[in-house]
Chains A and B, each alone.
Chain A
Amino acid sequence: MKRSPLSIALLAAICIAVLAAGPFLLPPFYVRVGQLMLYSAGLGLAWSILGGFAGYASFGHAAFIGVGAFTAGLVENSAAGLGPLWLLPLGLIAGGGACAVLSAVVAYPILRLRGTFFAIAMLGVSHVCAELTNNVDFFQGSLGLNFPPIAPASADPADFFYWLYLAAGLVVLFIAWWIRHSRFGAGLLSIREDEDTARMLGVPTERYKRLAFVTSAVLTGLLGVIYAHSLGYITTDSVYRDDTNLSLIVYSLLGGMGTLFGPVIGAFLLVFVTQVILARLLDFHLFATGLLLVLLVLAAPGGVVGVVRSLRRRRDKLAGAE
């Protein structure tokens, strides 16, 4: 089923316009929910470059959110004389850079592990980063870090961060789309399907994996920097969160593992369910999340995209039979 590039561009433009108009149409509570949806979708996509495309499911991406946020905070606080316009770019560069260095160093040992070992080792990385941030005084993890306000005076901060998340999400989506359709992306998919065969056929698996890991980490870190700014004040516990570690997997699983739009759909759905539908049932929150996971794994292992695809295939088969 091929559509013309023009109609795709038009469809994309309409979607972006509708999303960008959100703050004008929605009540304040839903602007917050929208922020969280866009942020989660961005994180899900960044995770998916490594976990979805290359099949290296990480259970510790909160490490990069935390490292990005804390590096940006420390750098911005030491450069407090600058105007608010310069602070965010500075923080993004510092946070992204720190994530790039950390991930490039960690990649060497950790990408030698596969499957569940990789997942749990990443959880270890996340816990080690969190404990070091908490216990080494220099990082001020237990005390907390303040972020200077960066929203321009003319805009409501909630709206401003909504648009910032939207822009960041679109950048991540574009990068993920570009990777998916490049030779690099094809290499990652071949690693997911069968790493040893891919290497035998001449795919530079080590280099591709490392590159995907660093890309994913840097994008996650950048989103972490924005997240920290939107919170205004962070401690170790507010950025290194185990439920983030888990959610990133669930987004892809819910939407469709390894697909481009799977994590976006998954993030939108899950944030809507947990923030809007379950918001009044705090006592049941863990239980409901657990139940959702169980039902998902048992009933729809291919996620939303998987269900849609199998429906479409069935329809095509019916059409072919006639």
Chain B
Amino acid sequence: MSLVLQTVADGLVLGGIYALAAVGFSLIFGVMHVINLSHGVLVLIGAYLALVLSNSLGVDPLLVLPLVMIVLFGMGYCYQRFLIQRTISGPPLASMLLTFGIALMLQNAMIWVFSPDMKNITPSYAFDSFKIAGLTFDAVRVSALAASLVLLSCLALLLKFSHLGRLIRATAQQTLAAQLCGVNVRHVYALTFAVSAAFAGAAGIVIGVILPFSPADESLWTLNAFVVVVLGGVGSPAGALLGGLLLGVVNTLTAQYVGPSFPNVTMFLMLVLLLLVRPHGLLGNAFSASR
């Protein structure tokens, strides 16, 4: 019994991190219907930036989070404004292939700069753990989960209450109407992408703290993000959280009870099943008509 509970608890912790890694992907998909296949690369750039910064400044990796988010915010804005914007009016495949091409280029660049080896960010409390009600929790994992929950709530509040959040939601609901009301749609798109990239970078730090990473992982994080978004529903932090937790629990349960090499099989079977039963994801659509 305690093994089941421990597995579920591990899954929930992992799921919180999946959710953070997916929320930016979800936002872009919901607002501009772009499948950002370079999302995993943005996550890894966050992880590598945190590695470099926390080593050179000698501080805890979670403390450089704002800095990394600011850098990726700027990168994301330029990326959308100068590259992806050109493909938005074209067929959906165009933006998908563009982002895939960028992902390949950046992956190769990361191999040149950081080598293809596995890297790890190790904070001082890496090996601490504590027990609650008979279940063991690693200090790193719990602090990572806490960071991701805080960030997800921040994003939800931003979308719900801030001026930028209203602009983003309005553009997603009715692009033309928003434009008629004086919204600079291109600017809003670029800002949305910037927010998404910033959250991808934050997710990268959290991931870097608990798991080893290498440039080849980018496709894994893109795929995870896609699955989480399809499971939970497009465009909302709550959907991403639900999808992430579900994916985390299913992954750990499969690895524990079916076999360590089967999580991907169950993940995709679940994905296809869900697409058939509830094509809009468990929480439906937050603020935009689906295609």
Contact surface of A with B, Cβ cutoff 8 Å: 57, 109-110, 112-117, 119-121, 123-125, 127-128, 131-132, 134-135, 242, 246, 249-250, 253, 283-287, 289-294, 296-298, 301
From B97, B109, B279, contact of A287 by CB (8 A): B109
Could you mark each residue 228-250 of chain B with 1 if its beta carbon is under 8 Å from any beta carbon of chain A, else 0? 00100000000000000000000
A23 CA / B164 CA spacing, docked (Å): 64
Task: Return chain A residues, CB-CB under 8 Å to B2.
Answer: none
User: Could you show 24 A-B contacts with beta carbons less than 8 Å apart?
Assistant: A109-B276, A112-B276, A112-B279, A113-B275, A115-B291, A117-B275, A119-B96, A121-B271, A246-B100, A253-B97, A283-B112, A287-B105, A289-B101, A289-B104, A290-B103, A290-B106, A291-B101, A293-B101, A293-B104, A294-B98, A296-B101, A297-B97, A297-B101, A298-B86
Contact surface of B with A, Cβ cutoff 8 Å: 35, 83, 86-87, 90, 92-94, 96-98, 100-109, 111-112, 219, 223, 226, 230, 259, 261-262, 264-265, 268-269, 271-272, 275-276, 279, 291
Q: Could you tell me the distance in whole angstroms from the C-beta of B121 to the nearest C-beta in chain A? A: 25
A114 CA / B92 CA spacing, docked (Å): 11
A114 CA / B276 CA spacing, docked (Å): 12
From A135, A286, A298, contact of B87 by CB (8 A): A298
A117 CA / B268 CA spacing, docked (Å): 12
Q: Could you tell me the distance in whole angstroms from the C-beta of B240 to the nearest C-beta in chain A? A: 17
Task: Return chain A residues, CB-CB under 8 Å to B102.
Answer: 290, 294
In the complex where A121-B272, A127-B268, A298-B86 touch, is A293 in contact with B291 (Cβ < 8 A)?
no
Task: Return chain A residues, CB-CB under 8 Å to B271.
Answer: 121, 124
Task: Return chain A residues, CB-CB under 8 Å to B261.
Answer: 131, 134-135
Task: Return chain B residues, CB-CB under 8 Å to A287.
Answer: 104-105, 108-109
Q: Could you tell me the distance in whole angstroms from the C-beta of B28 to the nearest C-beta in chain A? A: 12
Q: A297 and B104: CB pair below 8 A?
A: no
In the complex where A293-B98, A297-B94 touch, is A131 in contact with B262 (Cβ < 8 A)?
yes
In the complex where A121-B275, A128-B268 touch, is A301 in contact with B108 (Cβ < 8 A)?
no
A293 CA / B265 CA spacing, docked (Å): 30
